[in-house]
């Protein structure tokens, strides 16, 4: 399932490549083990929610590598957590595929968000920053209304923003911490999707970001893992509910990906230094390596894909 989706997407944005294996213009083969940095990584910590620009090494979101081919021409997308991580990678890819994009982010992530909007505009598309706290229902409703107004409609909704804070014991998780994780990861998609549905027509799509944690939870991510299992299930439930309206719903389940989640409380310093080393490729993934999945799930040629979870885990994640 994943292979088919990624293969279709990859074919879409490198279609200039000839079928002849050694012909002029053929894409160079790359060893996936050596494509990006491997652990050990330097110890580093940022206040939540963290900035990609301050990470060492800095994550790759496809800023220089992603090439579009018009697969989302004229589409209108809202992406939460669009300043960094998979949300940023999706925003860049969507713009280069021809979509206009509104991104939401926490106000302290403004520096990262401005970079994304600039990249969107450099691609010749409209980009709109909409900062705010997704833990507030009223803001989630305003977010959708503002995105619809600025974009002139809405047909792609990516609920990607997430809160992850590692705690060694359930006894270390306060009610306030638990509530913040639930509201960011579960309540916000609920509020956003409810507000967006009246604007979505047949052919529109909703994409949720779940995780390998939904299938194989870590002991120190008790609350976060629960929300990712719930994300997987709301994707499958909504797909059945909205299929009759011609609206597709799918999810992406990343494995260990190098994002600000890890350096802003999502991983212990010991885990951070060896982050991704347990994968079959010996390294963490980069957000850019998932961009094509988000494109494929939004593209019209994926019209039979709904209710599915697409993984990218470096050989360790599920599905």
Could you give the residue numbers annotated as active site? 224
Cβ neighbours for 243, distance < 8 A, ≥ 6 positions apart: 306, 307
* The token pair that represents 245 in the structure block: 């309206």
Q: What angle do CA 289, 259, 49 make, to 5 degrees?
A: 150
Measured distance CA(177)–CA(189) in Å, rounded = 18
Measured distance CA(304)–CA(301) in Å, rounded = 8
What DSSP string runs through 181-199?
HHIIIIIHHHHHHHHHGGG
Query: Phi and psi at residue 222, in whole multiples of 5°?
Result: -50, -50
Prior bond of 49 cis (ω within 30°):
yes
């Amino acid at each position: 399932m994943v292979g088919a989706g990624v293969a279709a997407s990859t074919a879409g944005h490198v279609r200039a490549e000839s079928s002849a294996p050694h012909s002029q213009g053929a894409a160079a083969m790359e060893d996936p083990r050596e494509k990006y940095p491997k652990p050990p990584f330097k110890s580093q910590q940022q206040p939540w929610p963290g900035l990609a620009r301050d990470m060492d090494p800095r994550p790759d979101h496809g800023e220089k590598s992603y090439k579009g081919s018009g697969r989302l021409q004229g589409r209108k997308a809202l992406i939460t957590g669009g300043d960094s991580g998979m949300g940023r990678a999706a925003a860049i890819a969507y713009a280069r595929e021809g979509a206009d994009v509104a991104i939401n982010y926490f106000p302290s992530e403004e520096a990262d968000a401005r970079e994304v909007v600039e990249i969107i505009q450099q691609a010749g598309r409209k980009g709109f920053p909409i900062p705010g706290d997704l833990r507030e229902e009223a803001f989630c409703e305003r977010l959708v209304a503002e995105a619809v107004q600025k974009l002139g409609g809405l047909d792609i909704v990516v609920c990607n923003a997430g809160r992850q804070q590692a705690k060694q014991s359930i006894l270390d998780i306060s009610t306030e911490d638990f509530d913040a994780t639930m509201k960011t990861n579960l309540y916000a998609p609920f509020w956003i999707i409810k507000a967006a549905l009246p604007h979505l027509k047949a052919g529109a799509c909703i994409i949720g970001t779940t995780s390998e944690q939904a299938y194989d939870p870590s002991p120190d991510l008790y609350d976060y893992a629960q929300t990712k299992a719930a994300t997987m299930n709301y994707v499958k439930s909504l797909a059945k509910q909205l299929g009759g309206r011609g609206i597709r719903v799918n999810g992406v389940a990343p494995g260990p990906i190098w994002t600000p989640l890890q350096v802003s409380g999502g991983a212990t310093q010991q885990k951070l230094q060896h982050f991704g080393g347990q994968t079959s490729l010996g390294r963490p993934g980069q957000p850019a390596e998932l961009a094509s999945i988000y494109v494929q799930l939004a593209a019209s040629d994926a019209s039979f894909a709904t209710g599915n979870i697409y993984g990218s885990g470096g050989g360790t994640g599920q599905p």
